[in-house]
């Protein structure tokens, strides 16, 4: 990652169009930099977001909020050689499972809070991470145009970007207002 300029440039070593000889550059602005900075304070070769680290943090939090004393037989029940260890990097599937679990947890908390207040809870709908990409592409297209959305998403052709970035119906309304 090149952090020398005002906007950082991240060039992943591996991406889906690398086999075609294309370079992928992800530009990271000041707001995203502020969010990412704490995760960059680690070895340059390690991943910023690690499922193994997340699991360790989750277990630590569970221990911190435990209400009853732990029995001696329960102190360390980890298997000596588990068949499957948490990985060092998220995959698209593990990332989606993490999102789904977070939504379930948030909806449970919302349901409990609404029950305490005697109102009906407003639950979060199930969603996919790619929806964030579509939404951001649409925002960029509306604010800066199709070419800006194309470059931001890393698409070689604008027709692919048009699938991601929805058209702005407000432009058609504005044209109809001016033309009559």
Q: What is the pLDDT of residues 62-81, one digit of tens each?
A: 888 888 887 777 766 677 77
Domain around 107: 91-124
Same domain, 77 and 102: no
Binning pLDDT at 50, 70 and 90, where does residue 168 land? low
Same domain, 23 and 13: yes
Domain boundary among 124, 142, 170: 124
Counted domains in the chain: 4
Same domain, 136 and 111: no
Residue 152: the pLDDT is 84
Nearest to 100 by CA among 67, 124, 68: 124
Binning pLDDT at 50, 70 and 90, where does residue 92 land? confident
Same domain, 156 and 120: no
Residue 166: the pLDDT is 67
**Alpha-carbon gap, residue 86 to 59, rounded angstroms:** 13
Lowest mean pLDDT among 8-12, 16-20, 151-155: 16-20
Residue 95: the pLDDT is 83
94-141 residue pLDDT tens: 888 888 989 999 999 999 999 888 899 899 998 888 888 888 888 888
**Alpha-carbon gap, residue 160 to 60, rounded angstroms:** 44
Q: What's the mean pLDDT in 15-38?
A: 84
Same domain, 54 and 37: no
Contacts of 15 (CB under 8 A, 6+ apart): 24, 154
Same domain, 32 and 77: no
Contact present, 78 and 56 (Cβ < 8 Å): no
Residue 180: the pLDDT is 64
Same domain, 84 and 96: no
**Alpha-carbon gap, residue 55 to 140, rounded angstroms:** 35
Same domain, 146 and 160: yes
Residue 103: the pLDDT is 93
Same domain, 7 and 36: yes
- Mean pLDDT taken over the chain: 82
Which residues lie across from 73 on neighbouring strands? none
Binning pLDDT at 50, 70 and 90, where does residue 58 land? confident
Same domain, 53 and 96: no
39-51 residue pLDDT tens: 888 887 788 888 8
Binning pLDDT at 50, 70 and 90, where does residue 172 land? low
């Amino acid at each position: 990652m090149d952090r020398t300029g005002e906007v950082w440039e991240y060039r992943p070593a591996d991406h889906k169009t690398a086999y075609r000889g294309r370079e992928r550059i992800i530009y990271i602005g000041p707001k995203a930099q502020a969010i990412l900075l704490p995760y960059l304070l680690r070895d340059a070769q390690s991943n910023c977001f690690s499922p193994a680290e997340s699991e360790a943090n989750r277990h630590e939090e569970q221990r911190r909020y435990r209400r009853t004393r732990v029995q001696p037989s329960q102190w360390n029940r980890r298997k000596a050689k588990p068949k499957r260890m948490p990985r060092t990097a998220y995959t698209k599937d593990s990332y989606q499972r993490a999102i789904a679990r977070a939504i379930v947890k948030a909806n449970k908390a919302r349901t409990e809070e609404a029950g305490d207040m005697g109102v009906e809870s407003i639950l979060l709908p199930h969603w996919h991470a790619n929806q964030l990409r579509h939404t951001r592409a649409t925002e960029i297209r509306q604010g800066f145009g199709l070419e800006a959305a194309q470059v931001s998403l890393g698409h070689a052709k604008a027709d692919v970007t048009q699938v991601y970035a929805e058209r702005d119906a407000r432009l058609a309304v504005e044209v109809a207002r001016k033309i009559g």
